[in-house]
Copies of this chain bind each other. A is one copy, B any other.
Amino acid sequence: MAPRNLGKYQFYNVTVPSENVVHVEINRPQKLNAFFGPMWWELKDIFEKLSVDPETRCVLLSGAGDRAFTAGLDVEDAAKPDNAISAGGFADPSRKATVLRRHILELQEVISTVARCAKPVVALLHGYTYGLGIDLASACDIRFCAADTKFCVKEVDIGLAADVGTLSRLPKVAGGVTSWVKEVSLSARPFSAEEAEKNNLVSRVVAGGKAELIKEGLEFAKYLASKSPVAVQGTKNILDAAWGRTVEDNLNYTAVWNQAMLQSTDVQRAILSGLKKKTPTFEKL
């Protein structure tokens, strides 16, 4: 079943495996789901729509095929002379710089669309999760991975500092600018699922392969989708606001947020259902 408000996409399979749960699958398996031009704009379009789609309460993001969540940037494509990275047509370094900056800001904006999605996004990682795969996973709210996942902050290996999100979000999701964050970011040393879990990048390593991962991810998504969407989406919004701000600032923000949200019928429904030991249902949001 396809979600009501979403069209067809060339590089993504978008399905509704369960009520209020949307599954977005990166679909270029013959290239290890590596990213090039048109894939970016489709991704942005999908998440802009899901963010405001009232039927969607939880989003799963995974990669098609057995081998990779995504191997990252399609380096062969990036090496072509007409790629944006070569800032073709300008000799003056300051004008070249301007073209490059505009391009980076555009790509960052795509990843930020995932991060800003009002609904919780769960990344299900397996196989190669390299470079851009880390940028993308860090922009999700929750990360589970299969035991065989191979991680790498790969950018240093292609001569650049990761610039579409990893360096800004990895310290946030892995817990500070720790020795480990710097070790793997500065060296581009690959690391395992176990190491990812130990360092807070994923909260679960699912035993078995990709099938088990998808199954466990879907179970969790159904669980989330059964909760009050006002409560879940508010919780995400406030947690994201907390980063890089003082506690006092965020307490005030929380109070201002909840002055509207506590008027929700969800509160009465949830409390009453709790007292009566029944399962509440909630209106769409």
Contact = CB atoms under 8 A, between A and B. Distances in A.
Interface of A: 52, 75-76, 78-79, 85, 87, 92-98, 100-102, 104-105, 108, 112, 115, 120, 141-144, 155-163, 165, 167-169, 171-183, 185-189, 199-204, 220, 223-224, 227-228, 230-272, 274-275, 280, 282-283, 285
Contact of A100 (B186, B202, B245, B259): B259
A261 B104 CA distance: 12
A112 B200 contact: no
Contacts of A238: 161, 163, 167-168
A155 B264 CA distance: 14
Given A75-B274, A112-B248, A158-B267, 5 more contacts: A161-B261, A168-B250, A182-B236, A189-B223, A243-B246
How many copies of the polypeptide does the oligomer hold? 6
Given A75-B271, A93-B93, A160-B267, A177 B172 contact: yes
Contacts of A200: 175-176, 178-180, 199
A263 B97 contact: yes
Given A231-B161, A272-B79, A247 B243 contact: yes
Given A76-B275, A186-B224, A243-B171, A157 B254 contact: no
Would you list the 7 A-B pairs with minimal beta carbon distance, nearest first?
A175-B175, A94-B264, A159-B270, A161-B234, A260-B260, A159-B266, A175-B176
Most buried by B among A158, A159, A175, A282: A159
Nearest to A227: B156
Nearest to A226: B187
Contacts of A237: 161
B232 A177 contact: no
A163 to B, nearest CB: 5
Given A79-B272, A200-B179, A230 B171 contact: no
Contact of A101 (B93, B98, B256): B256
B244 A285 contact: no
A169 B204 CA distance: 23
Contact of A260 (B93, B174, B231): B93
Contacts of A250: 167-168
A108 B251 contact: yes
A282 B239 CA distance: 36
Contacts of A101: 255-256, 258-259
Contacts of A52: 102
A56 to B, nearest CB: 13
A172 to B, nearest CB: 5
